[in-house]
């Protein structure tokens, strides 16, 4: 798997690059559009495939499912038995090396190869193996879901044309940009308690606009519209008279801010336009949404329905049996307004060459004070050298919950401090577990603009400031709540519930008369499953759990002045 990449300051040549490698399904297919993919890069040393960053190495052709004479889905591990001349061969991952599959298709006349992932999640990097250096055609991988979408058209072997490669100069009239090019909020989910007015929260607006086409473009504009159910921002730039072929320009728009912020999903849409009709309009619009929340902080996208992090890919750093951590950073001038209670995370186990289960696997979460002092990522002192653990939590999987979001509470909630950097991390041991990431959001231009760390990672005790990169975002949400008391009042009293696991009811000694209490019960995904208001006559809280399914739950008990948190298992 991909290792953590050392973060360095972005070079201007990276920002201004106009190459855009795409896998695009052409109309009139009902599945027209761009698809996420990985590709066999000759720079790795085990492929002689074309460098798709270079214009002229692009290919077009009709999708056609390869057949190697075996039953079931084609794996192309044997000589191809159907005609692939001039076609883009489609096949499945599994059983043999990627290089073998690709070479068999090339020998059958294919101009490119599309490999469908055979496990859930995003496409992965592909090693060429023993035959990779004999392959001279493009080789890409798409996800299992995208493969299922395109399978019927590939089986027809006619009528569905695709484009693979850099589209720079391929079309005459082609303005565009992509997710790495746009400014977005510094985090995806932001806390209303820390965003009370424009002085505490704002979003700078701007994007790199690129002319991928062979013809100069005139009167180029950038528009940004923001709505949260009602349109609250709509700005268009002054027209750029001429944008030369192959050139790009950064366009800034007025900063977005509000006198107060509603908890809502804020839809942010950037659109680029020019005088000429665009021949490839699929990249004329980019979303840069964000959320305002009363409890969740994240860099990954959050599902509007479940309020859980979106996890579409799974990675670990390195291949040793030692620790791997994916983290999100937090720093706010008003951090003392909130405390952190836990993290929602996800993980999977290896499914190749044989499926393995999550049952019995062990993961941990940690909160650290990040004590290194530096101004920004250009500061020579920017590093993860000094961190102090302030909270931890753990979870042992009781079932094979592959890819499922799990809420893990810290051993005790922790009040945060103003202007203090923190790291909130998911840590696992060994080479069998991969943690969840969101690969469909990109903070490239945002990090370039603000120059602040976002999601460092750790592998075998070595920290990497940039994790996997700006487009591989830990699918972690931190659950924070507004702090109204001292840290002692939020510290659990090492409560012991009994019986635990419980069958019909559970007793929680609170060691004092709480009086009227509110009880909130959440499952391990962070979903609230029950709330109660209870008038206590003594010091023991008795809770009926007959309506709860078997599993683990977090009980949060509060009388308005003091909060206690305990994990309870229900077993029937």
Of 270, 292, 314, which marks where a domain is finished? 292
* CATH code of the domain in which 32 resides: 3.50.30.30
**How many angstroms separate the CA atoms of 323 and 427, rounded?**
7
Q: Summarize the chain as % helix, strand, coil (round to 5).
A: 10, 40, 50
Determine the pLDDT at residue 381: 96
Q: Which of 412, 447, 482 is the last residue of a domain?
A: 482
CA distance 100 to 76: 8
Q: Which residue has the tokens 């929680």?
A: 508
Provide the strand spans (E) within 332-476: 338-345, 347-349, 362-370, 387-396, 406-415, 421-429, 433-438, 457-459, 462-464, 473-474
Residues 157 and 67 in one domain: yes
Domain membership of residue 230 as a residue range:
175-292
Write the CB contacts of 429 (distance below 8 Å, at least 6 apart in sequence).
Answer: 321, 322, 323, 324, 362
Residue 449: strand, helix, or coil = helix
Domain tally for the chain?
Answer: 4
Residues 549 and 565 in one domain: yes
Q: Are 175 and 278 in contact (CB under 8 A)?
A: yes
Return d(Cα 168, Cα 16) in angstroms, integer: 13
Q: Which of 251, 275, 292 is the last residue of a domain?
A: 292
323 assigned to some structural domain? yes
Q: CATH number of the domain at 247, please.
A: 2.60.40.10
Residue 243 domain-assigned (yes or no): yes
CA atoms within 13 A on the CB side of 530: 18
Distance CA 175, CA 172 (A): 10
Q: Is residue 2 part of a domain?
A: no
Residue 15 CB partners (closer than 8 Å, separation 6+): 208, 444, 445, 448
Instruction: Assess if residue 5 is contained within a domain.
Output: no
Query: Tokens at residue 463, please?
Result: 């920290």
CA-wise closest residue to 60 among 168, 167, 173, 211: 167
Do 300 and 438 form a contact (C-beta atoms < 8 A)?
Answer: yes
SS3 541: strand
CB atoms within 10 A of CB 24: 18
Same domain? For 45 and 116 the reply is yes
159: left (phi over 0), alpha (psi -120 to 50) or beta: left
Residue 353: the pLDDT is 62
Two structure tokens written together for 317: 């750093």
**How many other β-carbons are positioned within 10 Å of the β-carbon of residue 199?**
10
Residue 195 included in any domain:
yes
State residue 440's pLDDT score. 86
Give me the pLDDT at residue 375, please: 96
- 102 lies in some domain: yes
Reading the chain (572 residues) residue by residue, the pLDDT tens digits are 233 333 332 222 222 233 588 999 988 898 888 888 999 989 878 999 999 988 889 999 999 999 998 877 789 999 999 999 999 999 999 889 999 999 999 999 999 999 999 887 778 889 999 999 999 999 999 988 899 999 999 999 988 999 999 988 889 999 999 999 999 999 999 999 999 999 999 999 999 999 999 999 999 999 999 999 999 999 999 999 999 999 999 999 999 999 999 999 999 999 999 999 999 988 999 999 999 998 899 999 999 888 899 998 888 876 555 788 999 999 999 999 999 989 999 999 877 667 889 999 999 999 999 999 999 999 999 999 999 999 999 999 988 989 899 989 898 889 999 999 999 999 998 778 889 999 889 999 999 999 999 999 998 888 999 998 898 899 999 999 887 644 444 444 455 677 877 888 888 887 666 678 888 888 766 678 888 888 887 778 889 999 888 777 888 888 777 777 777 878 76
What pLDDT, on the 0 to 100 scale, is given for residue 9? 26
Identify which of 508, 516, 511 has the alpha carbon closest to the alpha carbon of residue 554.
Answer: 508
* Sign of the alpha-carbon torsion through 541, 545, 548, 552: positive
Cβ(187)–Cβ(297) under 8 Å?
yes
The C-alpha atoms of residue 477 and residue 344 are separated, in whole angstroms, by: 5
Two tokens, residue 572? 């029937």
Please report, for the domain that includes residue 543, its CATH number: 2.60.40.3080
CA 553 to chain centre: 26
Is 247 within 8 Å of 203 (Cβ atoms)? no
Closest CA to 47 of 106, 121, 118, 117: 106
Are residue 468 and residue 357 in the same domain, yes or no?
yes
Tell me the CA end-to-end span of the chain in Å, nearest whole number.
40
């Amino acid at each position: 798997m991909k290792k953590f990449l050392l973060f360095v300051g972005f070079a201007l040549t990276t920002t201004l690059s106009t190459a855009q490698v795409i896998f695009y399904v052409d109309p009139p297919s009902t599945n027209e559009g761009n698809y996420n993919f990985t590709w066999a890069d000759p720079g790795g040393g085990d492929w002689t495939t074309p460098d798709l960053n270079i214009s002229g190495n692009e290919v077009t052709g009709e999708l056609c499912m390869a057949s190697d004479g075996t039953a079931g889905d084609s794996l192309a591990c044997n000589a191809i038995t159907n005609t692939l001349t001039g076609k883009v061969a489609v096949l499945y991952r599994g059983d043999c090396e990627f290089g073998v599959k690709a070479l068999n298709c090339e020998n059958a006349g294919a101009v490119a190869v599309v490999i469908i992932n055979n496990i859930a999640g995003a496409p992965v990097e592909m090693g060429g193996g023993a035959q990779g250096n004999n392959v001279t055609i493009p080789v890409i991988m798409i996800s299992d879901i995208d493969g299922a979408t395109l399978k019927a058209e590939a089986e027809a072997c006619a009528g569905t044309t695709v484009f693979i490669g850099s589209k720079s100069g391929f079309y005459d009239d082609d303005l565009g940009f992509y997710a790495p090019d746009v400014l977005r909020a510094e985090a995806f989910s932001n806390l209303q308690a820390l965003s009370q007015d424009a002085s505490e929260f704002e979003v700078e607006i701007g994007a790199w606009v690129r002319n991928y086409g062979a013809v100069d473009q005139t009167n180029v504009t950038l528009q940004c519209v923001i709505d949260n159910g009602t349109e609250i921002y709509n700005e268009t730039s002054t027209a750029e008279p001429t944008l030369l072929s192959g050139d790009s320009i950064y366009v800034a728009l007025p900063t977005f801010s509000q006198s107060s912020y509603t908890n809502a999903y804020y839809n942010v849409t950037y659109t680029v336009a020019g005088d000429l009709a665009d021949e490839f309009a699929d990249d004329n619009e980019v979303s840069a949404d964000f959320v305002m929340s009363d409890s969740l902080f994240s860099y990954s996208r959050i599902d509007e329905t479940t309020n859980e992090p979106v996890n579409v890919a799974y990675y670990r750093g390195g291949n040793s049996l030692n620790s791997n951590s994916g983290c999100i950073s937090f720093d706010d001038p008003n951090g003392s307004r909130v405390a952190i209670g836990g993290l929602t995370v996800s993980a999977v186990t290896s499914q190749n060459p044989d499926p393995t289960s999550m049952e019995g696997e062990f993961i941990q979460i940690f909160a650290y004070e990040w004590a290194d002092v530096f101004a920004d990522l250009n500061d020579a002192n920017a590093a993860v050298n000094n961190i102090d653990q302030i909270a931890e939590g753990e979870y042992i999987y009781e079932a094979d919950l592959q890819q499922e979001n799990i809420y893990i509470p810290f051993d005790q909630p922790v009040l945060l401090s103003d202007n203090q950097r923190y790291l909130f991390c998911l840590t696992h041991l060994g080479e069998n577990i991969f943690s969840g990431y969101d690969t469909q959001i990109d903070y490239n231009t945002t990090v370039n603009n603000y120059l602040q760390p976002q999601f460092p990672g750790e592998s075998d005790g070595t920290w990497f400031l940039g994790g996997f990169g700006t487009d591989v975002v830990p699918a972690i949400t931190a659950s924070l709540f507004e702090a109204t008391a001292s840290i002692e009042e939020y510290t659990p009293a090492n409560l012991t519930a009994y019986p635990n696991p419980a069958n019909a009811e559970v007793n929680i000694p609170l060691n004092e008369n709480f009086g009227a209490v509110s009880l909130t019960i959440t499952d391990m995904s962070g979903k609230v499953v029950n709330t109660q208001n209870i008038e206590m006559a003594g010091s023991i809280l008795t809770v009926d759990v007959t309506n709860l399914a078997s599993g683990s739950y977090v009980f949060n008990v509060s009388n308005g002045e003091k909060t206690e948190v305990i994990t309870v298992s229900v077993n029937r």
